[in-house]
Amino acid sequence: MRRALIGDLLAAARVLSAQPPHLRAGVMDRLIDQAHAAHRYMARFGRPHLLWGDGSLLARALAEPAVANPGGDICDFAALSVAAARLAAFRRRGLLCPSGQNGRTGLC
């Protein structure tokens, strides 16, 4: 997965804001894992993944159905916080796993 930009985090926060707070970390981890898999797919086959996009978190988040944000700005900030924290954790695992594989899969 390429280096995330603010647009990636905002798109992920939009997806997370529609989820109950206790599910957000898991949903974010799924989005990150799928974006990472799409990145590897793109590198191998030279074309975007049909469901998950080009390997960016933005493309993966935009593939989710549009949702309304019932919580307003407070919900958005909380979702953005979860998105940033889970992405930072993913990056730390990547630094600890020199092969570049996701540490959660045990493929280090």
Residue 12 lies in a domain: yes
Residue 50 lies in a domain: yes
Q: Is the pLDDT of residue 84 over 60?
A: yes
Confidence band, pLDDT 50/70/90 cuts, at residue 105: very low
Residue 43 lies in a domain: yes
Residue 1 lies in a domain: no
Pick 20 or 97 by higher pLDDT: 20
The DSSP secondary structure of the chain, one letter per residue, reads: -PPP-HHHHHHHHHHHHTS-GGGHHHHHHHHHHHHHHHHHHHHHHSS-BTTTBTS-HHHHHHTSPP---TTHHHHHHHHHHHHHHHHHHHHHHHHH-TT-S-GGGT--
Residue 68 lies in a domain: yes
| pLDDT tens digits, one per residue of 15-69 | 999 999 999 999 999 999 999 999 999 999 999 999 999 999 999 999 998 666 6
Q: Which domain holds residue 73?
A: 6-105
pLDDT of residue 94: 79
pLDDT of residue 36: 93
